[in-house]
Amino acid sequence: MKLVAVTSCPTGIAHTYMAAESLEQSAQAAGHEITVETQGSAGSEPMDPSLIAEADAVIFAADVEVQNRQRFAGKPLVQTGVKTAINDGPGVIAQAEAAFAAGPPAETSPSAAGTGGGGMATKVTSDAGLGTRLRQWLMTGVSYVIPFVAAGGLLIALAFALGGYEITDYVPEGSTIVDVFEWGSLDSWAALMLAIGGTAFGFLVPVLAGFIAYAMADRPALVPGFVGGAVAVEVGAGFIGGLAAGLLAGAIVMGIKRWQVPKALRGVMPVVVIPLLSTLVVGVVMFVVLGAPLAALTEGLTEWLNGLSGANAVLLGILLGLMMAFDMGGPVNKVAYAFAVAGLSTGTEASLQIMAAVMAAGMTPPLGLALASTIRKRLFTEPEQEAGRTAWLLGASFITEGAIPFAAGDPLRVIPSIMTGSAVAGGLSMLFGCTLRAPHGGIFVIPLVGNPLLYLVAIAAGAVVTAALVIPLKSTKRALQQEAVLQAQEGAPV
Amino acid sequence: MSDQTLITADLVDLDLAATERGAATRSLAERLAAAGRVTDLEGFLADVAAREAQMPTGIEGGIGIPHCRSVHVTEPTLGFGRSNGGIDWGASDGPATLIFLIAAPEGGGSEHMKILAALARRLIRQDFKDRLHAATDPADVADYIRQEVTPK
């Protein structure tokens, strides 16, 4: 058998070459020919294309992205980490024999997609710990969500900038933007952008769930992931519901893939059986198991908030702040926001204060994370840093969803930080007696805010508190280790 | 010249006293600093620790290879330590007895890197490991390693 292999590791001075040596020794011992391309720091000599053409199977023993991997497209492929190749060279060679026996990949793997760029990427190392892999799965979902957040969020922000906060009422109840659109009207254009941005935002949770599942179990998991995410939206479970749907879908598909099925069935497994079964299970779980308790939760929280109307104003601001940041567009956030908007129609001073506190609390999560990712870049992955740049504008426009990429990738460290920051902003806004008579708009409605200077102080304080919490939380040793693995996979030069 | 000086007798410790990864790395790094190959001991150790944190560098067969590229390194250098008790280096099959501290200068030329690549390849050869286990004299060890990694 003729084999070709690529070895590559983060530092490129040790493991790359040890893995190459190990594969060469093991291949020789098994009676195979092998050519190894070491993509290390001693300079990488691309191997002769004719060797690839003749090869029966390809081995990637790499902890960082293989360079120009599309050269190897369409060949039976074994992917592993450098350490596995060093510790168990014969095992890897045996896998290559098995891959050769199984023939070229029927189901197009990312490398075999052959689209020049190498198809859709997931950055998951199979031999990392569960915590690291979990974070890699989430980050894969996040990396696909970020463009949706940016495009949708910026369109919505632009709509508010051009049309003012009343743009949400531009399209009358019962009709659509198509019915009322006028080419010459600026407000029409603003309302149109709002509609397009809103449609883009509708994809956030399904895309997040779909690509988390994809990272876990490849293409067959896309369907249950997307559908589970869409059901999460349907039942109002927000992005946390989406995380659950994505992980559930991925886990189910991983499980089904382990089944030993008769050869006759094998061909239809990835296109029919797996998507059908897993989508059914995920759909049932999301609708039935999650739907009813969520509805009850929403109702309970609403009643509880209504009962608090007479409570201490600052405390109420803190509570609303915590709720706004908890799930960014999910059920808890919606209850807090709906509570504030419902009060607006009464027009009392207290209800205008509540609206102000809720908006301040909804602005600080993206702002605080934008701040953190600006001053401590190292703690954030490359996609997160990009999300951080748009998060400034999204936060300023009261589009709390700008924080979702950060929260979805690292919920346990990010959510407590933004909740605390929002609690500070909400509490301070109440303390300063700031008021707001618009339900939306961010900095574009500052002219409508009572006590605007102190209002900005409250927002700034919330953002600073968020950043001041998330930075140390992300600086813990464990967080840094996971980050290092992720960074290495992005091919960052070491 | 670098292939002549990758390792010298004073960079070899055949009886590493440390029992823990950090201390073992430090004691070898101190030898590198004393030889003038590392300009800032703490900075260098931080660079090694950063690499180690990504994934422990221990590999099966009792080997630990703490390594990094660092601005605090003046030339490609190998520090070698043998621990008779063994030190946990994160490999799944037990502690490491042969510790190779590999220091590469930031932006080192590819000639330098080829020597380190040759060294890395030797690390998983059984005869190379056997020879180091059996060695009794630091100068012999340094001579042997230099000879092995010199381009032939």
| pLDDT averaged per 10 residues, chain B (length 152) | 71 90 92 92 90 82 87 89 89 87 78 78 87 91 87 60
Answer whether B133 touches A (CB < 8 Å): no
What does the alpha-carbon distance between residue A453 and residue A396 come to, in Å, rounded to a whole number? Answer: 15
Tell me the β-bridge partners of A33.
Answer: A2
Q: Residue B121's domain spans which residues?
A: 2-149
Alpha helices (H) along B6-137 = 21-34, 41-54, 110-122, 126-134
* Residue A357 and residue A317 in contact, taking contact as beta carbons nearer than 8 Å: yes
Chain A hits for B60, CB-CB cut-off 8 Å, are 86-88
In a 3-state reduction of DSSP, which class is residue B151? coil
Chain A interface test: which of B52, B55, B68 (most A C-beta within 10 Å): B55
Q: Which residue in the set B67, B91, B93 is minimally distant from A14, CB to CB?
A: B67
Measured between CA atoms, how close is A469 to chain B, in angstroms?
23
* CATH code that applies to domain A2-113: 3.40.50.2300
Q: Which residue of B has its CA nearest to A14?
A: B120
Closest CA to B6 of B94, B100, B79: B79
Chain B interface test: which of A15, A18, A37, A132 (most B C-beta within 10 Å): A18
* Residue A298 and residue A336 in contact, taking contact as beta carbons nearer than 8 Å: no
Chain B hits for A22, CB-CB cut-off 8 Å, are 124
Pairing of strands A77-80, A435-436: unpaired
Q: Which residue in the set A11, A17, A87 is minimally distant from B60, CB to CB?
A: A87
* Residue A486 and residue A409 in contact, taking contact as beta carbons nearer than 8 Å: no
Q: Which residue of B has its CA nearest to A84?
A: B59
Q: What ipTM does this complex have?
A: 0.84
Using a cut of 0.80, tell me whether the model's pTM lies above it: no
Chain A hits for B110, CB-CB cut-off 8 Å, are 41-43
Question: Is residue A433 classed exposed, middle or buried when 0-12, 13-18 and 19+ CB atoms within 10 A define those classes?
Answer: middle
Residue contact B117–A494, C-beta within 8 A:
no
Q: What are phi and psi of B58, to 5 degrees?
A: -70, 140
Chain B interface test: which of A11, A88, A494 (most B C-beta within 10 Å): A11
pLDDT for the residue numbered A125: 57
Residue contact B123–A14, C-beta within 8 A:
yes
Binding-face residues of B in 22-51 toward A, CB within 8 A: 50-51
As given in the structure block, the two tokens for residue A216 are 């876990």
Residue contact B117–A42, C-beta within 8 A:
yes
Size of interface A-B (CB pairs under 8 A): 84
Chain A hits for B59, CB-CB cut-off 8 Å, are 18, 83, 86-87
Answer whether B120 touches A (CB < 8 Å): yes
The label of the residue with tokens 């390594």 reads: B67
Q: Which residue of B has its CA nearest to A483?
A: B54
pLDDT for the residue numbered A119: 42
Q: What are phi and psi of A109, to 5 degrees?
A: -80, 165
Answer whether A374 touches B (CB < 8 Å): no
Specify whether B67 is catalytic.
yes
Residue contact B68–A480, C-beta within 8 A:
no
As given in the structure block, the two tokens for residue A357 are 């506190």
Measured between CA atoms, how close is B16 to chain A, in angstroms?
22
What does the alpha-carbon distance between residue A209 and residue A225 come to, in Å, rounded to a whole number? Answer: 5
Per-domain residue ranges for chain A?
Answer: 2-113
What does the alpha-carbon distance between residue A224 and residue A270 come to, in Å, rounded to a whole number? Answer: 12
Say how many domains are in chain B.
1
Give the angle subtended at the CA of A366 by the CAs of A456 and A424, to the nearest 5°. 50
Closest CA to B101 of B6, B1, B3: B6
Phi-psi region of A487 (alpha: psi -120 to 50; beta: other; left: phi over 0): alpha
pLDDT for the residue numbered A489: 52
As given in the structure block, the two tokens for residue A369 are 């994370």
**Which helix (H) or strand (E) is B65 found in, with range?**
none
Answer whether A133 touches B (CB < 8 Å): no
> CB neighbours of A174 closer than 8 A, spacing ≥ 6?
none
Answer whether B123 touches A (CB < 8 Å): yes
pLDDT for the residue numbered A477: 66
Answer whether A494 touches B (CB < 8 Å): yes
Q: What is the pLDDT along chain A (494 residues), one digit of tens a residue?
A: 889 999 988 777 788 888 998 899 899 888 899 999 888 766 677 888 888 888 889 999 988 778 777 788 878 888 888 888 888 888 899 888 888 887 665 444 443 333 333 345 555 555 566 777 888 889 889 888 988 998 999 999 999 889 888 888 888 888 888 888 999 999 999 999 999 999 999 999 999 999 999 999 888 899 999 999 999 999 988 888 999 999 999 999 999 988 888 877 777 888 889 999 999 999 999 999 888 888 888 888 888 888 886 678 999 999 999 999 999 888 899 999 989 988 888 888 889 999 999 999 999 999 999 999 999 988 888 888 889 999 999 999 999 999 999 999 899 999 999 999 999 999 999 999 999 988 888 998 999 999 999 999 999 999 999 999 999 999 886 666 666 666 555 543 33
Chain B hits for A476, CB-CB cut-off 8 Å, are none
Residues of A with catalytic roles: 9
What does the alpha-carbon distance between residue A289 and residue A285 come to, in Å, rounded to a whole number? Answer: 5
As given in the structure block, the two tokens for residue A385 are 């840093």
We report the CATH number of the domain holding residue B25 as: 3.40.930.10
